[in-house]
Amino acid sequence: MLNIEIDLWDGLDFNQISEERPKLTSYILNSNKKVPTVIICPGGGYQYRSKREGEPIAISFNNAGYNAFVLEYSVAPYTHPQPILDLARSLTIIRQNSETWNIDIDNIIVCGFSAGGHLAASIGVLWSSNLFIGVSGIDTKLIKPNKLILAYPVITSGEFSHRGSFKNLLGEFPKRDELELLSLENQVDHNTPETFIWHTLEDGAVPMENSLFFVHKLRSFNIPFEFHIYPYGGHGLSLAIPLTSDEECQINSHVSRWMDQCLSWLNQSKQSKP
């Protein structure tokens, strides 16, 4: 396995305002053939990045035959658009190095959890916007993900929003047009990638309506998706197994099936492509 850390903006313009720099950590399989690849965006309310939703997820995808990358994207005090620029830069780097790393450039999936789910969904709906035009280090032809995986994602800035995520992403007094832009159910269109999405009914931090709103818009544009609502379990379950749990309540054998269901969806989706 190739396990390296990549400074996303090394040698490029980056307005550094904290000690941290955004980076990408690779979990690249030893393979002689092109391999599908997952970019993982951990959650943390745009305030931090959960370790429970990083490397354990990468290893799970490795075990299923996928390359993986964990993105340590910019969080507060950085604000929009820096996190999505980090993700677009990551997609550019990965596709530009596809020959060296044996990556299938037509099978790159972005997987996000909670606020990381908001980031993943953001690139899924905004990849064709003018946000990235003229940004050094980003090739706009290389930044569309082929698929999205969204786990208990932050989506809406409206009634059911996770206020802390939007405060960290947009500052104390966000503008209305910024809230509208980043209320992602409003940005879904026919260019949005097919999506696997799951949530729990008992999620008290990010209500499951966030996923419902996104799925409703996917349906209205006939975008293929698979959607699971599990009846029990709180927020931030990750794999819902002991390995990724800090507390007993984060272990749920029913919810833990999501990874197998997701892998089945990925395989079915690949087989159904024309």
| pLDDT on residue 217 | 98
pLDDT at 271 over 60: no
**Measured CA distances, 158 to 155, 175, 213, 216 (Å):** 9, 13, 11, 15
Please check whether residue 89 is in contact with residue 43, taking contact to mean a CB–CB distance below 8 angstroms. Answer: no
Average pLDDT, the chain: 96
Average pLDDT over residues 163-184: 94
pLDDT digits 0-9 by tens, 148-160: 999 999 999 989 9
| pLDDT on residue 268 | 87
* CA neighbor of 115 nearest in space, from 82, 78, 162: 162
Report the topology of domain 5-272.
Rossmann fold (3.40.50)
pLDDT at 106 over 90: yes
Q: Which residues contact 17 (CB under 8 A, 6 or more apart)?
A: 77, 78
The predicted model scores a pTM of 0.96
pLDDT digits 0-9 by tens, 53-70: 999 999 999 999 999 999
The three-class DSSP label of residue 19 is coil
CA distance 234 to 246: 13
